[in-house]
Amino acid sequence: MDTAPYSIEAFERTSSDTFKAELARRLQAAVEAELGPAVREIMSRVAAELNQVGHELAPYGEQTDTESHYRHVVDSDDYKLLLACDVVVTTYFGASGGRR
């Protein structure tokens, strides 16, 4: 991941809160994109390993950089096992680094 666009200098280059918020949003998206392939690969491997011990997990819903869901479907209204990973990436830049 190229972190140069998110340097302290980049954030402090302007006093515009709008610019800082947009830069923070872009950083968030970049981190999500960096994590996404790893999350999907790990979840796929775990689901495959669980399937080797009797489950029938299959991807469920849209797999994104922040969401990876599998489930063992019994019928259209029920499932035996749900395996889900939802990643939350939060970014914020303020004069003091945030408030508690």
Query: pLDDT per residue over 77-92, tens digit each?
Result: 778 899 999 999 999 9
Q: Residue 14: its pLDDT value, please?
A: 84
C-beta of residue 91 within 8 angstroms of C-beta of residue 34: no
Alpha-carbon span 23 to 28, nearest angstrom: 9
Pick the more confident residue, 70 or 75.
Answer: 70
pTM for this entry:
0.79
3-state SS assignment for residue 54? coil
Query: pLDDT per residue over 4-61, tens digit each?
Result: 999 999 999 988 899 999 999 999 999 999 999 999 999 999 999 999 999 999 999 9
Going from N- to C-terminal start, the domains of the chain cover 4-86
